[in-house]
Amino acid sequence: MTPAGTHLVIGSGASAAMVAWTLACRGDQQVTVLDLGSRLDAPRTAALARMAGRDEASWHPVDLQLVTARTAGGGRAVPQKRVYGSDHPFRDLGQVTGIRGARPDTNTDVVSSAYGGFTNLWGAQAMPFSPGTFRDWPVSWAEMEPHYRAALQQVPLAAEVDDLAGSFPLLAPRSGLPPLGARTEAVLQRYAEHRTALRRRGVTVGRARLAFRANDCTRCGLCMTGCPHGLVYSAAQTMDRVRRLPNVRYVGGVLVEEVGQDDRGAVARFRELATGERHELHADRVFVAAGAMGTTRLVLGSLPQPPASVRMAESLQFVVPFLSRRGVADPRRPDARDFTLNQFNVLLSFDEDDVDTAHLHGYPYNPAFLDALPGLLRSPALSGLTTEVLRRLTVGFGYLPSWASPGIRVTARRGAGGLPELDLVPEDTGRPAMLGPVLRRLARIAPALDLWPLLTHVAVSGAGKSYHFGSTFPHQQPGARGGTDRWGRLPEWDRVHLVDGSVLPTLASTTFTLTVMANATRIATEVLDGRAAAASPSAVESAR
C-alpha cells in the first residue's frame, strides 16, 4: 500500500498536469501546485463566451477579428504564434527575464507563463516515439507503453490506422479525423498508388494524429488561431480536472526561484508576483515541471555547485514550401469548411527501425499562409495569381532528431537574487548534415506525390524555435555519470524530481509533447509505487 505523502508540483503545462493528476488520483496523497498561471485577457474571454452561445454564421465581426488576430508575417521566419489573438502564453512574469540569445534569430521566448503552458498554442500533433528510439534510453518501450496509454486517457486523440502505425503504434484513438482537404486526399491517393516504390525509398505518408475532439469539429477553419469551441487539447483541461479533486491545492501567481531539500524534506522557495513577498513550502517530494528551459534555469540556480554550463538538445525545425502541378479549389472559398491543423505526415527514414528519421507535418492551407506570401502576391492587382498559388501550395514543417541537430549551450550567471540569468549560444549556425539528404529525397519523390519542394525557399528556424528541446539533465543508465536517474533525480537530491523535457535522453524527429506527458506519468507512477524510494538511500544522508 502506498504511504500517504505530500507533493509539490511546479508548473501547469503538459508534464505538470500529468504528474499532478497521477499523484492526486490516489486520495491519500496531498498535492500543491505552484504556478505562474497567466490567463487570457477579459475582452477576449468575453468574446469567446459570446461566440460559444451563437451559431457561427451570426458571430459578430468585431469578436471574430479580436480572437483571430495574427502577428505580421512575411519573410521566411516563423512568426510568434498567437492564441485567440493574445500573446499571453509568452508574457514575461519573470520567467524569461534575463534570458539572452547569442544570435538575433535565437528564440528567447522559451518558458511559458500561461496556465496550461505552451499547450495553449501547440499544433496538437500527438505521436509516440518509435519503439526503436528507446534502445538508447534506460527506460524501454515496454515500460513506456502503458504510460503513453495513461496519458492518452486525458487526450482526445483523433487518428486513423495507416502505414505510420507500423513503427508508431496507434495506442488509444478516440475518433477518426474530420473530412480532409482536397490537397491531403490527393497526396494520400498518390501515396497509395506509388506505395511500394516510396516505401522502398524509406518514405511513409499517413494521416495526422491530433489531440482534439474531432467528432465535435465544425470545420470553422480557425484551428491555428485558437479553436472557438475549445476542442483542441490543452494541459489546462487536465489541470482543471486536477483542481476539482479534494486533495489538491492550486497556488497561482507565484514564481518558484529555488528548489532543494533539507532535513525537513523537499522544499520550494517562491515569490508572489502581486506583492513580491517570498515564501517556502516543504513536502515529501517536489516535481519540477516548468518546461525544459524553465526547469533547467531553476536547477542551475538551485544546485549548491552548479555546472558552468549545460548542453540543451533540440529537434531542429525547418520549413519547406511545396507546390503541386494539379491545383485544387481555392481553399479560401466560403464553403471550403476545412480544419486547418496538420492534416498529413511524411516520414523519411534512414534506417530500418525508423529511428534516424525526418518528420514533416503537411499543412495544405491556413490563413497565415497569406501573411507569409511575398509582398507582390499580396497585391490586389495580382489576386488571380495569388489564388493559383494557394490552390497548389502546401507547407511542410519538418524536424530532425536531436542527434542530427545542433544543440544549444546554456550558461547561467548568478544574479542579485531570484533566478539566474541565462545565455543561449547555438552550437552551430550552419545547416546540419542530415538536412541535405532529406531535401534531396523530397525532390526525388516529388513526381510520385505531386509535392514539389521549393528548395530555394527552405528555411531553417533559429535555435529554440522548434520548442522541441530538452535533455539538459537526461535520464542515465544506472551507474553512469551526469544527468538524472530514471526518476529524474540529480545526485544532489533524492526528493526532487525533474519530470519534463529536460530529462528526455534523446528527442526523436516525431512529435514531442505526448512523450513528455507519458514520461512524466511514468515517473510519478513509479514514485508512488515505491520504486524510487527503494532504489537508493537519501542523497543528503549519503553525503554526510
Measuring CA to CA, which residue among 152, 99, 91, 158 is closest to residue 120?
Answer: 91
Mean pLDDT for 412-419 is 81
Q: What is the total count of domains within the chain?
A: 1
Amino acid at 9: V
Read off the DSSP letter of residue 2. P
Q: Which three cell numbers stand for residue 392?
A: 497548389
On the question of pLDDT at 538 being above 60, the answer is no
Round the CA-based radius of gyration of the chain to a whole number and report it.
23
Q: Find cell 548568478 and name the residue.
A: 414
Amino acid present at 22: T
* Lowest-confidence pick of 89-98, 319-328, 329-338, 454-463: 329-338
Determine if residue 444 is left, alpha or beta; phi over 0 gives left, psi from -120 to 50 gives alpha, anything else beta: alpha
Strand partners, 322: 394, 453
pLDDT, tens digit, 9 for 90 and up, residues 188-242: 999 999 999 999 999 999 999 999 999 999 999 899 899 999 999 999 999 999 9
> How far apart, in whole angstroms, are the C-alpha atoms of residue 356 and residue 140?
18
Does the structure show a pLDDT above 60 at 73?
no
Provide the percentage of residues in the chain whose pLDDT is more than 90.
Answer: 83
Q: What is the CATH number of the domain that holds 48?
A: 3.50.50.60
What are the DSSP calls for 236-290, one per residue?
HHHHHHHHTSTTEEEE-SEEEEEEEEETTEEEEEEEETTT--EEEEEESEEEE-S
Q: Is the pLDDT of residue 281 over 80?
A: yes
pLDDT, the chain, mean:
93
pLDDT score of 467 more than 90: yes
Q: How many CA atoms lie within 13 A of 291 on its CB side?
A: 27
CB 426 within 8 A of CB 406: yes
389 phi, psi to nearest 5 deg: -65, -50
Residues spanned by the domain of 453: 5-543
Res 536: pLDDT? 62
In this model, does residue 462 exceed pLDDT 50? yes
Q: How far apart are CA 216 and CA 233, in angstroms?
A: 13
What integer pLDDT is reported at residue 540 of this predicted model? 36
Model confidence pLDDT, tens digit, residues 16-38: 999 999 999 999 999 999 999 99
Fill in the DSSP letter of residue 301: H
Q: How far apart are CA 345 and CA 362, in angstroms?
A: 6
Instruction: Kindly report whether the global pTM for this prediction surpasses the value 0.85.
Output: yes
* Positive or negative: CA dihedral 177, 182, 187, 189: positive
Residue 175 grid coordinates: 475518433
* pLDDT bucket at 45, cuts 50 / 70 / 90: very high
The amino acid that residue 384 corresponds to is G
Pick the range with the lowest mean pLDDT from 184-193, 293-302, 375-384, 495-504: 375-384
- Residue 263 vs residues 222, 223, 257, 493: alpha-carbon distances, Å: 52, 50, 20, 12
Cβ-based neighbours of 302, under 8 Å, separated by 6 or more: 258, 259, 260
Beta pairing, strands 393-399 & 278-283: unpaired
User: Per residue in 327-363, is it b (16+ CB within 10 Å) or e — as a string?
Assistant: bbeebeeeebebbbbbbbbbbbbbeeebbbbbbbbbb
288 class by beta-carbon count within 10 Å (0-12 exposed, 13-18 middle, 19+ buried): buried
DSSP run (H or E) holding 386: helix 383-392
Across 8-16, average pLDDT = 98
The DSSP secondary structure of 406-475, one letter per residue, reads --EEEEEE--SSSSPEEEEEES--S--TTHHHHHHHHHHHHHHHT-EE-GGG-EEPPTTTTS-EE-SS-B
Residues 109-130: tens digit of each pLDDT? 999 999 999 999 999 999 999 9
Segment holding 144, helix H or strand E? helix 141-152
Neighbouring residues of 333: CB distance < 8 A, sequence distance ≥ 6 = none
Q: How does strand 285-288 pair with strand 496-498?
A: parallel
Low-confidence winner among 10-24, 59-73, 240-254 (lowest mean pLDDT): 59-73
Q: CA separation (Å) from 244 to 20, 134, 170, 458?
A: 12, 35, 31, 47
**Residues 79-108, mean pLDDT to the nearest whole number:** 94
Q: Is the pLDDT of residue 471 over 50?
A: yes
pLDDT digits (tens, 9 = 90+) for 296-317: 999 999 999 999 999 999 999 9
Residue 416 pLDDT more than 70? no
Q: What is the mean pLDDT of residues 418-447?
A: 94
Cβ–Cβ under 8 Å, residues 11 and 285:
no
